[in-house]
Structure 1
Amino acid sequence: MVSRKVLIHSIVFAPDAVSTAYLYNDIAYNLKKNGFEVEVLSTMPHYNKVDQSKTKFQKKFLGLYYTSNYKGIKVYHVPQKKYESVLLRGFIMIYWHLLSFFLGMRIKNVDVIISPSPPLTIALVSIALAKLKKAKFIYNVQEIYPDFFVNQGKMKSQFVLRILKKLERFVYKHSDSLVTIDQNFKNTLIPRMDHPEKIEIIANFVDTELYYPIEYPEVNKQIFPANENLKVMYAGNIGFAQDWVPLIEVAKKTIGMPITYFVIGDGACRSWLKSEIEKYKLDNINLIDYQERKSIPHIINYADLHFIFMNKKLEKDGLPSKVYTIMACKKPLLVISNKNTPLYDLLENTGAAYLIENLSNNVNEELFLILQQALHNKDELREMGEKGFDLVQKEYTKEKVTEKYFKHISNLINS
């Protein structure tokens, strides 16, 4: 069999500590194991604090870019930083796009290029590279843009919005395939496409070698005390995609009860959350910095119940990947979301989660009653955890999902 080459073009990749990076690390490795040549165009780690000492970076052209090796896969890293200034963020993004294009042109004999969103603009570079190299292009829609900007309330200019919508249609038109994560996303994309048959649904997955049930988790007892309290947890980005008001309200209502809330991570809403905790003296909420990835499985297993409270303006635009890791650890979920959203549809009728509809007039009351129920019925929590675990093993393991990517890419090459 003639070896085929896949170029992964992603704004994040190992060793960056973010869900899309973990996803594409595993996709890249699976493709390599199945006989593909794989190279990656990405950035230097910049999303979360990571230990870069474990990755050997080779400086190229006085630091214009770097290279590394991920399990035998060559990775090109363009320097990126987080800036407060919109102007600087724009400049560094343009720099990343231009340099990744020229680096991509140097990579020979590419058959398929695959890029995940965000950002939407990454697809322009990938499309240009694919056309010039006579390769196929797969756009992996992890979040739908510009919808995400609009629903966040960040899109004030109608002129810019019109440009982004034209860009979105251009990307869909010139992609050979669109891979998206669920039927809701597909339904949203169909009216925007001339050829909706190009859409393929491939769900995200969890690494069950890393995330699994641990009967006696090893955690820092000063941060995660050993007691009989009901331990309710959120670990991840503390951003706008979640609604943090219900947490504050239910924490106020459950002060004095044996319930402790843990919020682990960082993000745009962390400072607001911290100020609310201090304002209402909510010593039942522990706000904790990001923890090392290797400790996260133990931390997930430490909790009794994991919550995801979706922002109703943004809940149709993405699916938190943490839902899979939680279920893989046999832990139940407490979710606020609406029907016909990716998260609700994934969990409905599974028995793995308590589901509260976001549009309900009694969200806070329902939330309080569920926590009261969970506090006195931990056997039910264990049963819910078992159901989520079985679902992951059946549908969402790394092996099952990366195999779907392999088959899809193989079929696209041969079409």
Structure 2
Amino acid sequence: MKVLVFSQYFWPESFRINEVAESLQAVGCEVTVLTGQPNYPHGKTFEGYRASQISQEMHAKGYIIHRVPLIPRGKAKAVGLFFNYLSFVLSSALIGPFVLRGQKFDLIFVCGMSPFTQSVSAIWLGKLKKAKVVVWVQDLWPESLEATGFVKNKTVLSAVAAVVSWIYRHSDLLLVQSKGFISSVQNKAGSTPIKYHPNPGELAFNHTASDTRHASAVSFNNGFNIVFAGNLGTVQALDTVLDAAEQIKEHADINIVLIGSGSLTTWLESEIRRRNLRNVSMPGRFPVEAMPSILGQASALLVSLCRDPIISKTIPSKIQVYLAAGKPIIASLDGEGARVVEESGAGIGCSAGNSTALAHAILKLHALPTNELELMGRKGIEYYQQHFEPAMLARRLREYFSTLLASDPSFTAKDVKF
């Protein structure tokens, strides 16, 4: 089975689609990648690449990556993102057929992160290559634009909804990363079949020997260390985390460690200094390979999202990472993510955006005996193996592809499997 993985973001940028491509290769798919020139998250084209370049390289895992020109996102302002997104749509649609000339594919697999418009180019390529198109929906559009405040104009939101509906109806299969997405996607998808396919965990957690080179760079204090790892942005409700940290300052042995980077990095550093929060530290961003050893030093792991009915439908990818790490989880969120943590028995939760409830949850976990904390960790690993293990999900993904290509009449829009 020849699969073209289609994604604006790809290695050496750090995204889950990198490992999904590797896992597909491992289960027998012949993988090729079409992507842009890497520039995320800093907005500058990576060293060794050029924004205007058409290039090809062989990944160490044995598949070819084709790259088309891409305008860097810059400082991720609205104008910069618009041209960044538009450039990939145009490059992949106009130059993509040239770089892929003479190659045949059974299926085009679209990683449906921002920009959602990239799927238009994938559908165009699918027509040219006579290949099925599968879109893996990672965000709800236009709902997520409205929820984050990125777009408020109702006319623009309606236009986006129309484009999304066109994409869904012209795809051959839609995969959704959260059960909470299904009703919204169904309303726009027409007769296109929909399947629930969650984001897998990270392959680094499948290996007993992890990369320990960066573990010593994180200065954990002798105490109860709560680690938040990932994007430091507005959706993650980090103001709530700081407010909770302020409420538990008198508990000198409790420390909150924010690992990662994002649009709020500078603001967070400023707020920590202004509030004199000595119980909060920001050691920086580290590669995926280092995370097992870093998270392994934590006493508990924290996931938080802002309070919004649309945001509550998503499952943050860090939940899979946390479950695999085998540490108790504190979940300051609503909806699907909270359901996973509660269902797994791997931690305790509280409502999103409620700093007092988060402070109480931290103190409750802190007060538990070691054996109960260890039990939560073991339950997390068990749940991860059953629901998010990468090889298992890669096999399931290949089965979806095979069934679609075989045109199984049972594979219909009504056949939404959980």
Note the C-alpha offset of 1:29: 2.7
1:308 to 303, 311, 327: 303
TM-score when scaled to structure 1?
A: 0.88
> What are the equivalent positions in structure 2 for 1:54-69 lying under 5 Å apart?
64-69=53-58
Question: Match for 1:75: what amino acid?
Answer: I
**CA RMSD across the alignment:** 2.6
> Which residue identity lines up with residue 86 of structure 2 in the other structure?
I
How far has the Cα of 1:160 moved from its partner?
Answer: 1.2
Residue number among 237, 244, 249 corresponding to 1:255 in the alignment: 249
Q: 1:404 aligns with which of 374, 389, 396?
A: 396
- Unaligned ranges ≥5, structure 1: none
Give the Cα–Cα distance (whole angstroms) in 1 for the partners of residues 295 and 206 of structure 2. 9
Query: Residue type matched to 2:403 in 1?
Result: N
- Equivalent residue of 2:348, what SS? strand
CA offsets 1:332-391 (integer angstroms, 9 cap, x no match):
1101222xx2212222232112111238xxx33332333223223233221111100111
Cα distance change, pair 215–367 in 1 and its aligned pair in 2 (3 A): farther
Cα distance, 1:300 vs structure 2? 0.8
Q: Deviations 1:165-222 (Å, cap 9, x if unpaired)? A: 10011011101100012221112222223226x0011111113553567899775546
Does residue 320 of structure 2 align to residue 342 of structure 1?
Answer: no
Aligned to 1:74: 64
1:15 to 12, 22, 25: 12
Structure 1 residue 395, shift from structure 2 partner: 2.0
Is the aligned partner of 1:146 residue 2:142?
yes
Q: Deviations over 1:278-310 (max 9, x none)?
A: 221101100221113322111111111111111
Q: Does 1:351 find its partner at 2:340?
A: no
Residues 66-108 of structure 1: per-residue CA shift (max 9 Å, x gap) = 2221221110123442223533432333222222123431322
What is the distance in 2 between the residues matched to 1:203 and 1:181?
Answer: 4
Q: Give the corresponding residue for 2:18.
A: 25
- Quick check: 2:210–2:293 contact (8 Å CA) kept in 1? no
Report SS of the residue matched to 1:241: helix
Distance across 2 between alignment mates of 1:215 and 1:385: 18
Label 1:366 to 1:405 Cα distance change in 2 as closer, same or farther (>3 A). Answer: same
C-alpha separation in 1, matches of 2:158 and 2:359 = 43
The equivalent of 1:325 in structure 2 is: 321
CA distance in 2 between partners of 1:67 and 1:315 (Å): 37
Equivalent in the alignment of 1:278: 273
| Greater mean deviation of Cα atoms: 216-225 or 272-281 | 216-225
Q: How many residues align?
A: 396
Residue aligning to 1:173 = 169
CA, structure 1 residues 221+75, in 2 after alignment: closer, same or farther (shift >3 Å)? closer
The one-character-per-residue Cα deviations of 1:32-76 (angstroms, maximum 9, x if unpaired) are 3444322111122222369978xx87x8xx952222212211101
Q: Quick one: which amino acid aligns to residue 22 of structure 2?
A: Y
Gaps of 5+ in 2: 408-418
Q: Which deviates further from its counterpart, 303-312 or 71-80?
A: 71-80
- Counterpart code for 1:297: P
Going from structure 1 to structure 2, the CA distance change for 1:93 and 1:215 (only over 3 Å counts) comes to: closer
Where does residue 416 of structure 2 map in the other structure? Answer: none
Q: How far apart, CA to CA, are the structure 2 residues paired with 1:156 and 1:323? A: 30
Q: Distance in 2 between matches of 1:123 and 1:208?
A: 26
1:207 pairs, out of 192, 202, 208, with 202
Offset, 1:326: 1.2
